[in-house]
A and B are shown apart, each in its own frame.
Chain A
Amino acid sequence: MSGSGKMSAIGYAFLVVLGLAAPLVLYPIFLMQALCFALFACAFNLLIGYTGLLSFGHAAFLGMAGYAMGVAVKWWGLPPEIGLLVGTAAAALLGYLIGSLAIRRQGIYFAMITLALAQMLYFFCLQAKFTGGEDGLQGVPRGHLLGFINLENDLTLYYFVFAIFVLGFCIIHRAIDSPFGQVLTAIRENEPRALSLGYDVDKYKLLAFVLSAALSGLAGSTKTLVLGFETLTDVHWHMSGEVVLMTLLGGMGTVLGPVVGAFIVKTLENRIGEFGQLLANQTGVEWFRTIGDSVTIVTGLIFVICVLAFRRGIVGELIALFRKQRA
C-alpha cells in the first residue's frame, strides 16, 4: 500500500518538475491557457467523475468569474491576487445559487436545469454593459503580484499560474481522498443507499457543486489574467460541451485524466491546421489539408470515438492496462 503511495508521490514530483521546466521549451502563453482549462476540467471532473452529476452549464462559472475578475482589476484597480479571489468568490456564489436550484433533481433533469440557468446567464452577459457584450471585456491589465512582482513578463506569470494550478489540483485531490470524497463516491454509486445510511445527500451534493464552481471560477479568473480579456465564448454552451469533451477524453473519475484531456483538446484547437498539413504531407491525401477548416468535425469525431470505444478515456485506459499487466 505504502509502495504505491510512494510511487504516486514520485510521479507527482516528476510532473511538477516537468511543469516547471516546460516554459523553456514550449510557448508559455499556450501552456498557461492549457493549465487554466486543465484546472477547469479537473473541477468539472469533481462533479461528474466523483459525484456522478453531469452539469451542462459549467461555462457559466468559468465566464462569470472571468468577467468579475476583469471588472475588479480593470475598473476597481484591485491587484491581481485580489482580482482572482473576487472571481472565485463570484463563481462560488453563482454555484450556490444554481446548485441549490438544480440539486433537487437528478440525471437528465439536473443537466437540463444547469443548461437552462447557464443560458439565462449567457443572455444576461450579452446585454449587460459591464461585459462589453459581444466585443468582450478588453484591456484587463496584469498588474503586480503582491505589489512588486511584475506579471507582464510571460515567464513570471507562468510560474504564478502554475502555482495556482497546483494549488487547485491539490484542493481537488484532497477533497477526493478525504471522507467527504468517499461520501461523494458513495452517492455516485448508489444514492438511495447513501441516504439510508444517514448522510444528508443534498448537502454533500451542493457542497461538491459549489466547490466545483469555485475552482472553475479560479480557472476562469486566471485565464482572464493571462489573456487580458474576457468574451462571451466563455459563457456559451459550447464551452460547457468542450469541458465535457476534455474530461471524457482524458478519463472521467481519474485524477489526471482531465489534465491530459484539456491539453490534448487545446493543442488540437491550436494546431489543427498544421496537423492537417502534416497528415496531408505524410499520406498524400489532399483532403486532410482541409481539416484545418473543420475543428467541429474533428471534435465531433473524437466525441463519437470516445463514447463508443474509449469510454474510460486515455488515462482510464492506461490505468486499466496497467492493472491488467500487474494481474
Chain B
Amino acid sequence: MEIFGVPLQAMYGQLLLGLVNGSFYAMLSLGLAVIFGLLNIINFTHGAVYMLGAYAAYIGMSAFGIGYWPALILAPLAVGIFGMVIERTMLRRLYKLDHLYGLLLTFGLTLMLEGLVRSVYGVSGQPYAVPDALRGATDVGFMTLPNYRAWVVVASLAVCLMTWYVIERTKLGAYLRAGTENPKLVQAFGINVPLMVTLTYGFGVALAAFAGVLAAPIIQVNPLMGSNLIIIVFAVVVIGGMGSILGSILTGLGLGIIEGLTKVYYPEASSTVVFVIMAIVLMVRPAGLFGREK
C-alpha cells in the first residue's frame, strides 16, 4: 500500500524517526521554555550551553575517563552551575530593563563561548562513542532502529514529564510560578525569590546540557552544533507558547513528526518548514498554541 507514492512500511519508519527527533526537540526546548516562561529571560545561550554539555561529556571522557552514564548527571550539573554564575553576575542586572537587552547579552555570550571552544578545539569536532550498553539496533519490522535512538526517546520524554510535573503539580513549582508573577508578594511570604530564580535558570541550562550529552554520540561534537539548532528551538518555544511547558513539549514532538513527513515528500524544505509553521501560528494565535500572552 502506498501513501502519495511512499510505501506504508517506509512511512512507518519515517514517522518513528520523526518521533525520535521530536522527543529530542521537546527535550531541548524544555529548558528554554522554563527560562522564558518562568523568568521572562530570552536566553539566546541555549544553543551554546547545549554545546557545552556535549563538550563536558567529551572532556569528561577523554581527560578524566568519565563514562557516558555518570556524564549524564555530571555534565548538566557542571554546566548548570556555570549558568547560575552567569545569571548571578550578568543577567540579574538586566531584569528591570527591556527583554531586548537580555537577548543581546545572551547573544554576545553565545558568540564568546562558541569562539572560545573553537579556538581550543578547532571546528571539525570530536568523536564521542555510543555507550556499549546501547550499541546495536533492533529490528522493529518496518525498519531497524538503533537502540541508542530508542533510549533518546525514553530519556527525553521521562525528563520532560518529570519537569512538567514538578512545575505544574508540586508545591515547589507553585512557589516558582507565583514568584515570577508577583515577586514582591512571594518575597514577603519569606521565600527567597532571587535564589529561586537563579536555581531555575541553572535548571533550564542543565536541561540543555543534558540534551547535549544525549546528542554527543549521534551528532558530531563541534563548537557550532548549537547555533544550527538555536533558531529551531526558539521557533518551537514560540509556536508552543512562551509561557507553556506542556506547549513546547507537544510542539517539539509535533514538529519532529511534521519534519519527518516533510523529509519524505519534500526533503529540501525540511529546514524551513518550522519557520513557515511559526509564521502561520503567530499570525493566527499570537500567543502560541498553548500560551497566555503576558
Interface residue? A311 (CB, 8 A): yes
Among B106-114, B130-138, B258-266, the one that faces the other chain is B106-114
Whether A304 touches B112, Cβ cut-off 8 Å, given contacts A109-B282, A116-B275, is yes
**B residues near A116, Cβ cutoff 8 Å:** 235, 275-276, 278-279, 282
Chain B residues with CB under 8 Å of A15's CB are none
Does B170 count as interface, using CB distance less than 8 angstroms?
A: no
Is B283 part of the binding interface, using a Cβ–Cβ cutoff of 8 Å? Answer: yes
- Alpha-carbon separation in the docked complex, A301 to B90 (Å): 13
Judged by a CB distance under 8 angstroms, whether A192 is at the interface is no
Chain B residue with the shortest CB-CB distance to A119: B275
Q: Does A2 contact B (CB under 8 A)?
A: no
Residues of A within 8 Å of B, CB-based: how many?
A: 37
Asked whether A296 lies within 8 Å of B109 as measured between CB atoms, the reply is no
Give the B interface residue count (CB, 8 A). Answer: 39
| Identity of the chain B residue whose Cβ is nearest the Cβ of A298 in the assembled complex | B115
In the complex, the answer to whether B283 meets A300 with C-beta atoms within 8 Å is no
CB distance from B232 to the nearest CB of A (A): 10
Binding stretch for chain A, among B7-15, B93-101, B159-167, B197-205: B93-101
* Interface of chain A, main secondary structure: helix
For B269, what are the chain A residues with a Cβ–Cβ distance below 8 Å? 123
Within 8 A of A (CB), among B96-151: 97, 99-101, 103-105, 107-116, 118-119
Option from A120, A244, A294 in Cβ contact (under 8 Å) with B104: A244
A-B contact count (CB 8 A): 104
A279-327: which residues lie under 8 A (CB-CB) from chain B? Answer: 290, 293-297, 299-304, 306-308, 311
| Interface-located stretch among A100-108, A133-141, A220-228 | A100-108
A283–B115 Cα gap in the complex (Å)? 23
B28 contacts the other chain (CB 8 A) = no
Asked if A300 contacts B108 (CB within 8 A), the reply is: yes
Q: Contact: B112 with A115, CB < 8 Å?
A: no
Given contacts A107-B99, A237-B231, A303-B107, contact A120 B112 (CB under 8 A): no
Residues A119 and B112 in contact in the complex (CB < 8 Å), given A54-B100, A303-B107:
no
B234 at the interface (CB under 8 A from A): yes
Given known pairs A112-B234, A117-B279, the reply for A307 and B101 (CB within 8 Å) is yes
Check A296–B101 contact: CB distance below 8 A. no
Give chain B nearest CB distance to A261 CB in angstroms.
13
Give the residue of B107, B116, B234, B286 whose beta carbon is less than 8 angstroms from that of A297.
B116
A240 to B113 CA separation, bound complex (whole angstroms): 20
Task: Name the residue of chain B whose CB is nearest to the CB of A303.
Answer: B108
B105–A303 CB distance below 8 A: yes
Asked whether B112 lies within 8 Å of A297 as measured between CB atoms, the reply is yes
A117–B100 alpha-carbon span in the complex (Å) = 19
Q: How far is the CB of A196 from chain B (nearest CB, A)?
A: 20
A248 CB–B CB distance under 8 Å: yes
Chain A: CB-nearest residue to B269: A123
B62 within 8 A of A: no
Q: How far is the CA of A158 from the CA of B151 in the complex (A)?
A: 61
Interface on A for B, CB 8 Å cutoff?
54, 101, 104-105, 107-109, 111-113, 115-117, 119-120, 123, 127, 237, 241, 244, 248, 290, 293-297, 299-304, 306-308, 311
10 further contact pairs, Cβ within 8 A, besides A115-B231, A116-B282, A300-B111: A104-B282, A115-B234, A237-B231, A296-B114, A296-B115, A299-B111, A303-B108, A303-B109, A306-B104, A308-B90
Q: What 4 pairs across the A-B complex have the smallest Cβ distances?
A: A303-B108, A300-B111, A297-B115, A300-B112
B: which residues have CB within 8 A of A? 42, 90, 93-94, 97, 99-101, 103-105, 107-116, 118-119, 231, 234-235, 238, 242, 268-269, 271-272, 275-276, 278-279, 282-283, 286
